[in-house]
Structure 1
C-alpha cells in the first residue's frame, strides 16, 4: 500500500519524536527560567519575560523558523569569518528546529509554570524556610513537585501541540516524517495515501502521549486524593 516507503516514514517518525522531545526539554528549561523572571521582584526581569511571551504570541511559528534557520546561518558565518574561519558553515536543521520550537513553547510553558507556582500556598515556603531548609532545597523538595502536579494538564496540552508543530521543520530541509511523506507522495503521485499515513502516525503519538500524561496525573494526585478524603 505504501509502495515500499513504510521504513522511510518510520525513520522519519522517529526523527520527529526525537525533535519533539529535545524541543520539550528546551521549552521546559526556558519556561522555568522565564516563569521565575516573571515572579521575581525585578522589574527588568519581569519586563524581559513579558516581552518574550509577547513576541512569541505575535509572530507566526513558520516565520520564526525561517528567521532562526536563515538568520542563524548568516550570524554563525559572520562570527566565523571574524574569527578567521573561511569555510561556510551550514546550520543543522535539527538544531535549528529544536531551538525554534523550544523557544516558541518556552513562552507558553513560562505562563503554565507561573500559574502553577502561584497556585501553591505561600505558607509552605515560609514553613520550609522556618524548618531550616535553604531556598534551593525548598524549591527542589517542596515547590517543584507540587508545581508539577498543577502544571501537568497544561503541559500535556502544550506537548500535543508541540508534536504537531514539528511538521514545520520540513520547510528547512529536515528529513522528518512530513518531508519523507511529501517526497513519497511526489514520487508515487498518491498524496492522499502518504499524508493520511503521516496523520495516523501523528495521531498514534499524541494518543499514546495522552495516556502517558493521564497516568502521570493519576500518580501525582494519589496523595492529594487520599488526603482529601
Structure 2
C-alpha cells in the first residue's frame, strides 16, 4: 500500500464530491434530455429546430470550453452589461453549480438522442392500441410508451453515465475539490504526482466497475419477463 502521507482522506472526500456532482448532473441530464427528446418528436418545426441547434452545440463544443464559458464568461458578460447600465457589481458562479449545470446541459444532449432512438424502437402499434382503449395522447405516452422507452434507453443512458462520471475531472480547473482536484493538491503538497494520480485512476476505475455492475443489474430488472432476454 503506497504511503499517502495523510492525504488519503482528502482523496476519499474528493471521490464523494465527484459522486455528488456526477449524480446531480445525471439527474439534470435525464430530465432535460427527456424534455428535449419529447420536443424533438412532438414539437412544431420551429421548436424542433431550436432543440436541434442546442443538441448540435452541446455535442460539438468541447466540455472544457463550455465549462470555462459558463464559469468565467457568463459572470463577466453580465458584469459588463450591468456596468453599461451604471451598476458596478461583482458576480461569481459557485463552482459546484457551474459544474453541475454545464455537465447537465452537455449530457442532456446525448441523453436526448438516446431517448429519441428508444422512442423509435417502441412498436408504433403500442400507441395505437393505447389510443383505441380511450387514452389521450399524453396518457398513452406516459403510461404505455415511456415505460417501454426506458427499457430500450437503459444501455445508452448507462454509457452516458460512464462518460459523464469521467468528465467530472474537468471541473478541477474551476477549483471544485472533486477527486482530480484533491489528487492534484496532494501531489503538489507531497511531490508524489505518480502516487496520487495513480490512486485517482484506481478510484475512478472502482467507480466505473461499480457502475457497470449496477447497470447490468438494472437492465436485468428492466427486462424481467421479456421473452428472449439473455440477461
Q: Same fold (TM over 0.5)?
A: yes
Q: Does 1:32 align with 2:28?
A: no
Query: Match of 1:172?
Result: 174
Q: How does 1:202-213 map to 2 (within 5 A)?
A: 202-213=204-215
Identify the residue that residue 153 of structure 2 maps to in structure 1: 151
Look up the SS of the partner of 1:132 in the other structure. Answer: coil
Q: Which runs of 5+ in 2 are unaligned?
A: none
Q: Which moved more, 1:218-227 or 1:41-50?
A: 218-227
* Structure 2 SS opposite 1:225: coil
Deviation at 1:57, TM superposition (A): 2.6
- State the Cα RMSD in Å: 2.1
Structure 1 residue 72 displacement after superposition = 2.5
Match of 1:191 in 2: 193
> What SS does the corresponding residue of 1:224 show, helix, strand or coil?
coil
**Aligned residue number for residue 137 of structure 1:** 139
Report if the CA contact (8 A) 2:223-2:229 is conserved: no
Deviation at 1:90, TM superposition (A): 2.2
- Structure 2: how far apart are the matches of 1:131 and 1:201? 51
Deviations 1:96-141 (A, max 9, x none): 0001011110111110000000111111112112212233322222
> CA, structure 1 residues 208+85, in 2 after alignment: closer, same or farther (shift >3 Å)?
farther
The equivalent of 1:216 in structure 2 is 218
Quote the offset at 1:77 in angstroms. 4.5
- 1:43 & 1:196 partners in 2: Cα distance? 50
Alignment size in residue pairs: 228
Q: How much has 1:66 moved relative to structure 2? A: 0.2
Partner of 1:62: 64
- Give the distance between the partners of 1:69 and 1:138, measured in 2 at CA: 41
Indicate the residue corresponding to 1:108 in structure 2.
110
**Mean Cα displacement is larger for which, 48-57 or 116-125?**
48-57
- Report the Cα offset of residue 58 of structure 1: 2.1
Q: Name the stretch that deviates more: 129-138 or 85-94.
A: 85-94
**2:45 aligned partner:** 43
* Structure 1 range deviating more: 89-98 or 66-75: 66-75
- The 1:226–1:196 alpha-carbon spacing in structure 2 relative to 1, beyond 3 Å, is same
Indicate the SS of the match to 2:226: helix
Give, in whole Å, the separation in 1 of the partners of 2:30 and 2:83. Answer: 34
User: Which residue does 2:127 correspond to in 1?
Assistant: 125
CA drift at 1:41: 5.1
SS in 1 for 2:225: helix
